[in-house]
Structure 1
């Protein structure tokens, strides 16, 4: 393997930097498991700030929709005293995913919004099963955590440009 292939490009560096900034921010507020924010940083870092912005807008829409529908799903599970081992749970999860997809289609959103809302729904439903937080607090924290990751990825991509990177390398 050629050594040149091992040298990271700007996108790799920006992705790692966004993850670092995100972790430092969350650690500063004593939040030590910002998994959703870090995943958002990695998924949102694109080659250009414009690509990141467009992907980020869809990711924000999907995150908000998935968060809202998962909130409803968790309330239903809680009200009916259904835990994750109950035989009705697969039906409720499937209906939640169906709602994410149908709402995305009804509002003429792209496939990324529908898939992201479904992923957020699934992760939130199953993630809450091991949480001691209230449903409302859990959904709010997870949604905000993801949104922070998206914003950090966008900010890093906007601030670290090819021109600035080349100047830094020349120093």
Structure 2
């Protein structure tokens, strides 16, 4: 039995730590409702530092939005359940317009808490709910940044390094005339590489350390996009085309094998396209090194 699936992830550990630390700090500061500190900390823990910063900012602004709508609704429409439902609709609609969809649940909780409050002066209560939630959000971001922060640059390199071998395997299938050429796995990795590259760019903006230049990653991404384009075209040709001597020699060197391919027929348009993309593919693979 594999024990890997029972392993507790670092994000899970950091979430628990952020909640505990948030509750402790709320007790030291004498905050009124530690519950909202915990909710803020949980909602901000993301898979990358940049996402955590962006999530924290959006949730803080969404929390303020929920509290303001609750204040306005409570003064215009004294408490009743129907008006509370209308208020929730307004909060959700505003956050959808601002594209803060992931913060809707937290903002709605703050709205309900403020709107239903009847024990203390409502403005002070709203300010305290925003303060409680903001403390939790800040702690969640700081914990995610300070402890085993996920680095998208390292993830980018891991994905990239595995893709060249995949490309060579697919090239081998194309050259040897395999009936079924499978590139969906390569495309999935390329999608993940592109997403990781965008995360790495975002992380640079939020980094307090020495910032990494992303020129190399940009070049690597373009190379892999070129590799995928060539592989896709070669697959779509779906023919046993004639390989020219230059490409044949380079492939034999790359694959460490001898190709016994003869081209007795007249060169066709498909052969020209085939050799162009083979040459482009070999050039990109060479540049990867």
TM-score class normalised by the smaller sequence: 0.7 to 0.9
Shift of 1:95: 2.1
Give the drift of 1:33. Answer: 3.9
1:153 aligns to 2:140 (yes or no): yes
Q: How much has 1:60 moved relative to structure 2?
A: 1.4
Corresponding residue for 2:82?
91
Shift of 1:67: 0.8
Number of residue pairs matched by the alignment: 150
1:11 aligned residue: 11
Conservation of the 8 A alpha-carbon contact between 2:49 and 2:149: no
Mark the CA change 1:21 to 1:113 in structure 2 (over 3 Å): closer, same or farther. closer
- Post-superposition CA distance 1:92-150 (Å, at most 9, x none): 112212322343355x4342345543342123323x14xx2210111000111001100
* Residues in 1 aligned to 2:2 and 2:115: alpha-carbon distance in whole angstroms: 45
Q: CA RMSD in A?
A: 2.4
What's the counterpart of residue 112 of structure 1?
Answer: 102
Question: Structure 2 stretches of 5 or more lacking a match?
Answer: 151-289
Contact 1:62 1:115 in 2 (8 A): no
Structure 2 CA distance, aligned partners of 1:2 and 1:22? Answer: 35
Question: Residue 71 of structure 1: SS of its match in structure 2?
Answer: helix
Provide closer, same or farther for how the CA distance between residues 102 and 42 of structure 1 changes in structure 2, counting only shifts above 3 A. Answer: closer
Q: Higher relative contact order at CA 8 Å, sep ≥6: structure 1 or structure 2?
A: 1
1:40–1:150 CA contact under 8 A, matched in 2 = yes
Determine if contact 2:39/2:106 at 8 Å carries over to the other structure.
no
What is the CA-CA distance between 1:13 and the residue it aligns to?
1.3
Aligned equivalents of 1:10 and 1:113: distance in 2? 23
Q: Which has the larger displacement, 45-54 or 25-34? A: 25-34
User: Using the alignment, how far apart are the partners of 1:76 and 1:23 within structure 2?
Assistant: 34
Q: What pairs with 1:1-171 in structure 2 (closer than 5 Å)?
A: 3-31=3-31, 33-77=33-77, 80=78, 82=79, 89-105=80-96, 108-126=98-116, 128-129=117-118, 132-162=119-149
Local SS of the residue matching 2:123: helix
Please list the CA deviations of residues 53-88 of structure 1 after superposition, one character each: whole Å capped at 9, or x if unmatched: 1221221121110010111122335xx5x4xxxxxx
CA contact (8 A) 1:22 1:37 kept: yes
Deviation at 1:90, TM superposition (A): 2.2
For normalisation by structure 2, the TM-score amounts to 0.46
Q: Secondary structure of the residue that 2:60 maps to in structure 1? A: helix
Q: Which protein shows a greater Rg?
A: 2
Cα distance change of structure 1 residues 12 and 105 upon mapping to structure 2, 3 Å threshold: closer
